[in-house]
Amino acid sequence: MSSKCQGGEYVRKGNREQKAKTIDELEEKFKTAKGCIVTNYRGLNVARITTLRRRLAQDGVEFKVVKNTLARIALDRAGLKGAHVFFEGPSAAAFAFKDPVAAAKAILDFARDNKEFEIKGGVVEGRVIEAKDVRVLSELPPREILLARVVGHAAAPLTGFVSLLQAPLRNLVYVLSQVHDKMEAEHQTA
No. of helices (H) and no. of strands (E), the chain: 6, 7
Q: What is the pLDDT of residue 188?
A: 82
Q: What is the pLDDT of residue 28?
A: 95
Local mean pLDDT, 10-residue blocks, the chain (190 residues): 53 77 95 93 90 92 94 93 90 92 90 89 90 82 67 65 62 68 79
The answer to whether 93 and 120 have CB atoms below 8 angstroms apart is no
Q: What is the pLDDT of residue 142?
A: 66
Q: What is the pLDDT of residue 1?
A: 46
CA distances 186 to 53, 161, 176, 177, 189, Å, are 83, 38, 15, 14, 5
Question: What's the pTM value of the predicted model, to 2 decimals?
Answer: 0.67
